[in-house]
Amino acid sequence: MATETIKVNSREFVVKKYSFPTEQIPRLDYQDKKAEKLIENGQPVILTGSDLVGSAHHWDIGYLCSNLGSGQYTVYSSADGKFKYYDDKKLTQNKQFKPPTTQTDMTFQEFAAKLKRKDNKELMYLQQPLNETVGTRIVMDFTNFNWGWANETQKKNHWGPMTSNLLLVGMEGVITPAHYDEQENLFAQIQGYKRFLLFDPSQFECMYPYPIYHPHDRQSQVDFDNPDLTKFPNFANLKGYEGVVGPRDVLYLPMYWWHQVESLHGHGETISITFWYKAAPTVKVVYPLTSGQKVAIMRNIEKMIAEALNNNESMPSFMQAMVQGRYT
Ligand SMILES: CCC[C@@H](CC(=O)O)C(=O)C(=O)O
Ligand SMILES: [Zn+2]
Closest-CA residue to 89 (of 237, 253, 214): 214
- Kindly give the confidence (pLDDT) of every residue in the chain, 328 residues in length, as a single tens digit, with 9 standing for 90 and above: 899 999 888 899 999 999 999 999 999 999 999 999 999 999 999 999 999 999 999 999 999 999 999 999 999 999 999 999 999 999 988 899 999 999 999 999 999 999 999 999 999 999 999 888 889 999 999 999 999 999 999 999 999 999 999 999 999 999 999 999 999 999 999 999 999 999 999 999 999 999 999 999 999 999 999 999 999 999 999 999 999 999 999 999 999 999 999 999 999 999 999 999 999 888 899 999 999 999 999 999 999 999 999 999 999 999 999 999 999 9
Atom index in ligand 1 nearest the CA of residue 194 equals: 7
- Residue 288's Cβ-side half-sphere holds a number of Cα atoms within 13 Å equal to 4
User: How far apart, in whole angstroms, are the C-alpha atoms of residue 62 and residue 92?
Assistant: 39
- Residue 186's Cβ-side half-sphere holds a number of Cα atoms within 13 Å equal to 29
Listing DSSP states for 141-188 in one string gives: HHHTS-HHHHHHHHHHTT---EEE-EEEEE-TT-EEEEE--SSEEEEE
| Ligand 1 mutation pick, 176, 244, 259, max ligand atoms within 8 A of CB | 176
261 C-alpha to center of ligand 1: Å?
A: 7
Nearest CA to ligand 1 atom 3: 176
User: How far apart, in whole angstroms, are the C-alpha atoms of residue 48 and residue 249?
Assistant: 5
Atom index in ligand 1 nearest the CA of residue 262 equals: 8
Question: What CA–CA distances, in Å, run from 200 to 43, 191, 238, 305?
Answer: 9, 27, 10, 26
Task: Report the residue count for the chain.
Answer: 328
259 C-alpha to center of ligand 2: Å?
A: 7
Ligand 1 pocket, CB under 6 A? 127, 166, 168, 176, 181, 185, 187, 194, 259, 261, 272, 274
Atom index in ligand 1 nearest the CA of residue 175 equals: 8
Contact 46, 246 (CB under 8 A): no
